[in-house]
Amino acid sequence: MSETSERVKTGIPGLDGILHGGFIPGSNVLVSGGAGTGKTIFCMQFLQSGAMKFGDNGVFVTLEERPKELRREAERFGWNFEKLQEEEKLIIVDAASSKAGLPTTEPHAIRTGLDINALAQEIYRVTKRINARRIVIDSVSGLGIRFEGIAAVRNAIFKLSSLLRELGATSIMTSEVAEGSTGFSRYGVEEFIAQGLIILSLTEQDRELRRSLVVRKMRQTGHSLKRFPFEISSSGLVVMPGGEL
């Protein structure tokens, strides 16, 4: 695909320019970072702006926060996920409740414990149902708890990313990395499987934590390699120009 092809805009102010217009349609991007770096908000904003600005329906597969927590969090940024769900512009797949051993009344939920095949089937089904163009899996680190051994987790991640590619939607997976760790993902394979990698960081400067992001890889496109400061404002992530921290 050429540089000038249509892009999938993240809708995150300041980011699409860094990406030369947005994500490559149909690609799978890993957003990785430590705790509280903004991964979940990034994903919500990607789906919110997709649905509201670009006419793209979305699927949010949550493995960590329960759907009602996500809706409440979204509301704090002025994003009405409940309405998007009612209008079938957004489907939230609840894979968090069963993982936590909690009951759920969500219409789209994995109820059989976290079975990777069941999860893949549900993602496939709901994506087809609303013809979703954007999919988020937050986070693949959450897959680990139910799986025996790292090989099984890697296999599960591989399965999910193959499915995402097969579905042709543009997708984000998140992965949590310990602050100060040398890798980019929890299981050490996500960054190789994904076509793109964006790293969110919180680093200390003058006794204050500052947020920044860097686009580490994005196959099939040029992109800035600078580190960009960003903020989480009342309307979500805003990436600052300049590339200086």
Ligand X SMILES: Nc1ncnc2c1ncn2[C@@H]1O[C@H](COP(=O)(O)OP(=O)(O)OP(=O)(O)O)[C@@H](O)[C@H]1O
| Binding positions for ligand X, rule: CB under 6 A | 33, 35-41, 64, 76, 176, 232, 234
Residue numbers 19-58 binding Mg ion by CB under 5 A:
39-40
Binding partner of 176, given Mg ion, ligand X, none, CB within 5-8 angstroms per partner class: ligand X
**Rounded least distance, CB 174 to ligand X, Å:** 7
Which neighbouring-strand residues pair with 175? 32
Q: Which is nearer to ligand X, 126 or 237 (CB)?
A: 237
Q: Which is nearer to ligand X, 39 or 133 (CB)?
A: 39
Q: Which is nearer to ligand X, 11 or 24 (CB)?
A: 11
Edge to edge, the sheet with strand 58-62 lists 90-94, 58-62, 134-138, 170-176, 28-33, 196-205, 208-218, 227-233, 236-239
Least distance to ligand X, CB of residue 103, Å: 23
Rounded (10°) angle between helices 67-75 and 39-53: 70
Task: Report the site for Mg ion in 159-178 (rule: CB under 5 A).
Answer: none
The three-state DSSP-derived secondary structure of 142-178 is HHHHHCCHHHHHHHHHHHHHHHHHHHCCEEEEEEECC
> Radius of gyration of the chain from Cα atoms?
17
3-state secondary structure of 182: coil
Residues 94-153 that bind Mg ion (CB under 5 A): none
Inter-residue contact 191 to 185 (CB < 8 Å):
yes
CB of 235 to ligand X, least distance (A): 9
**Closer residue to Mg ion (CB): 126 or 136:** 136
Residues that bind Mg ion (CB under 5 A): 39-40
